[in-house]
Amino acid sequence: MKATTRLLSGFATTAAATALALSFGTSSAYAAECEELSIGSAISLTGKYATNGIHAKNGYEFAIKKIDENGGVKIGDKCYNFKVTYYDDESKGDRGATLAERLINQDKVQYMLGPYSSGLTKAIAPVTEKYKIPMVEAEGASRSLFNKGYEYLFAVLSTSEQYLASAIVLAAEMAEKEGKNPGDVKVAIAVENDPFSLDIRAGVLEDASKYGMKVVVDEKLPRDLADMSAILTKVKLVKPDVLIVSGHSKGAATAVRQIGEMKVDVPMIALTHCEAADVTGKFGDTANDILCSTQWAETLSYEDDIFGTAANYEQEFKTTYPEYTDRKVPYQTAQASAAVYVFADAFQRAGTLDKEAVREALTQTDMSTFYGGIKFSKAGNNIAKPMVLRQIQNGEYNVVAPSGFASHDLNWPRKAQQ
């Protein structure tokens, strides 16, 4: 699909009446009579971020469908349906910024759903800020997005420095369990040279420093993310206790494939984007015992009035999108749905289509959802939801940390899969 191609998707949507309880209509027939409310999104449908861009778009559309089924956004004596205009940003920041300008100036959208990735969000946020367009985003986690003083940017996800830092805590716990000093743990890091992954690196380095751990490999992944064999050769030589890798979906797939091919034997390996890359489906037993950071899991005890439980969200999403039947629903999809839900809630609480009133309502968001708690700091990041770690155990993704959320014990140490 060309970046200049316009995709229109009209669905009904609705909003929450209060921060604690949601009030919706009861039939999509009622929603069908609603007026249209335009929202725009530049999203990666081609290029290196296309896998997750499509996951995010599916999450947007599923939420719009679900909220449609519950009646439509009710504002006063009227109701409204979202009409979403999508453009393909081709995974390019400059293209995303240009498309954001087009959505605002030509398509006249007054509200935006975010793109995929911190880099694309970083490119688009100055545009939405310039025109005072509220943007709820679900896929830009870099903490650098939230130190710019933006007033129109709201992110439902936890910030990126939290993604894999908990793996360092786990490594310290395992060392102590064996009667060793956590300061003796050796850490290897390989990340993409982008804002999201560099923040992950910063969080890992910070936590490793707290324990006095030694970082023995600290490398940037190749730009095309297609080959990390040189880095893995170094890893095999220095024998770290923990290997941290962040390179979005393509980087995760490359890492798991080459870890298997090269028989890399590290006691603890932690990655981002495992589910989105479908590492279990593509690489089978090679992915076993790898730790995967996640914003959300279907086993968590989160719930709301539209999507039900986290488990119900996954089940209904798979029914709507059968291509996900034999795999985990990626957290990128769930958080995209949460972003739509947040917008819906803000519209209804604002009681108006005035974008400044909607922005003010967003600042007051305090929701319990199937995705977790959502409450924005003054900077616009979500401060109500933790990250969790899942471990791939015999092909299943099981939550193992933090301990308060764990459904299974940690398998440790990991052995190279033959």
Task: Note down pLDDT in tens along the chain; length 418 residues.
Answer: 333 334 333 333 333 333 333 344 444 444 558 888 999 999 999 999 999 999 999 999 999 999 888 888 889 889 988 889 999 999 999 999 999 999 999 999 999 999 999 999 999 999 999 999 999 999 999 999 999 999 999 999 999 999 998 899 999 999 999 999 999 999 999 999 998 999 999 999 999 999 999 999 999 999 999 999 999 999 999 999 999 999 999 999 999 999 999 999 999 999 999 999 999 999 999 999 999 999 999 999 999 999 999 999 999 999 999 999 999 899 999 999 999 999 999 999 999 999 999 999 999 999 999 999 999 999 999 999 989 999 999 999 999 998 888 999 999 999 877 5
Does any domain span residue 385? no
Residue 81's pLDDT is 86
Residue-number span of the structural domain to which 243 is assigned? 164-271
Residues 170 and 66 in one domain: no
Does any domain span residue 184? yes
Does any domain span residue 325? yes
Tell me the pLDDT tens digit for each residue of 179-201.
Answer: 999 999 999 999 999 989 999 99
CATH number at residue 258: 3.40.50.2300
Mean pLDDT score of the chain:
91
Does any domain span residue 185? yes
Residues 26 and 109 in one domain: yes
Does any domain span residue 252? yes
Residues 215 and 257 in one domain: yes
Residues 89 and 202 in one domain: no
Does any domain span residue 222? yes
Number of domains observed in the structure of the chain:
2
Residues 352 and 236 in one domain: no
Residues 264 and 362 in one domain: no
Tell me the pLDDT tens digit for each residue of 252-291.
Answer: 999 999 999 999 999 999 999 999 999 999 999 999 999 9
Structure tokens given for 49: 């971020």
Residues 258 and 345 in one domain: no
pTM of the model: 0.82
